[in-house]
Structure 1
Amino acid sequence: MDRKDGMGLRAWWLMGVAGGLMACGDPNVVAEVGKREVSKGDVSAFIAARSARDVPTATQALDALVDRSLLADEARRAGLDKDPGVRARLRTAEREVLAQALLDQRLAAATDEAKLREGYTASREKWVRREVHVRQIMVRVPPGADEATRSRLLSRINGLYARLVGGEPFETVAREGSEDTVSAPRGGDLGPVLEGQVDEGFFTEAARLGKGERSRPFATSFGLHVLEAVEPVRTVEPTFEQVRGRLEAETRRDAQEALMKDLRERIPVTRHPDRLETGASEGQGPRS
Structure 2
Amino acid sequence: MVAKVGRTPVTRADVALWLQTHEGAGAVEGALDAVVERTLLVEKAREDEFLKDPEVAARVEAARREVIANAYLDRVARETSTEESLSARYEARREGLARREVHVAHIVVRLAMGADRRARAEAQAKINAAHARIVSGADFAAVARELSEDTVTGALGGDLGLVREGQVDARFFGAVVALKPGEVSEPFETDFGLHVARALEAPRTVLPTFQEVRGQMAAEARHEAEEMLMRRLREDIPVRRYPERLSGVVGTKKAEGEQ
TM-score norm. by structure 1 comes to 0.83
Paired with 2:213 and 2:89, the residues of 1 have a C-alpha distance of: 11
Paired with 2:222 and 2:208, the residues of 1 have a C-alpha distance of: 20
Among 53, 56, 60, the alignment partner of 1:83 is 53
Letter in 1 for 2:112: P
Paired with 1:275 and 1:59, the residues of 2 have a C-alpha distance of: 49
Among 151, 156, 159, the alignment partner of 1:189 is 159
Could you tell me how far 1:81 is from its partner in structure 2? Answer: 1.1
Give the corresponding residue for 1:56.
26
Letter in 2 for 1:34: G
Give the corresponding residue for 2:237.
267
Please give the per-residue CA displacement for 1:136-157, whole angstroms capped at 9, x wherever unaligned: 1111112221111111111111
Paired with 2:144 and 2:249, the residues of 1 have a C-alpha distance of: 65
Give the corresponding residue for 1:224.
194
Is residue 2:108 matched to residue 1:173?
Answer: no
Among 173, 192, 206, the alignment partner of 1:203 is 173
Paired with 2:19 and 2:98, the residues of 1 have a C-alpha distance of: 43
* Total equivalences in the alignment: 253
SS state at 2:167 partner: coil
Unaligned segments of structure 1, at least 5 residues: 1-28
C-alpha contact (below 8 Å) 2:25/2:31 kept by paired residues? no
Among 11, 14, 17, the alignment partner of 1:42 is 14
Give the corresponding residue for 1:149.
119
TM-score norm. by structure 2 comes to 0.92
Paired with 1:60 and 1:179, the residues of 2 have a C-alpha distance of: 51
Unaligned segments of structure 2, at least 5 residues: 255-259
Letter in 2 for 1:241: Q
Is residue 2:98 matched to residue 1:128?
Answer: yes
Give the corresponding residue for 2:257.
none
Letter in 2 for 1:239: T
Among 185, 191, 216, the alignment partner of 1:215 is 185
Runs of 4+ displaced beyond 6 Å: none
The percent of aligned pairs where both chains have the same amino acid is 47
Letter in 2 for 1:181: T
**Structure of higher CA gyration radius:** 1
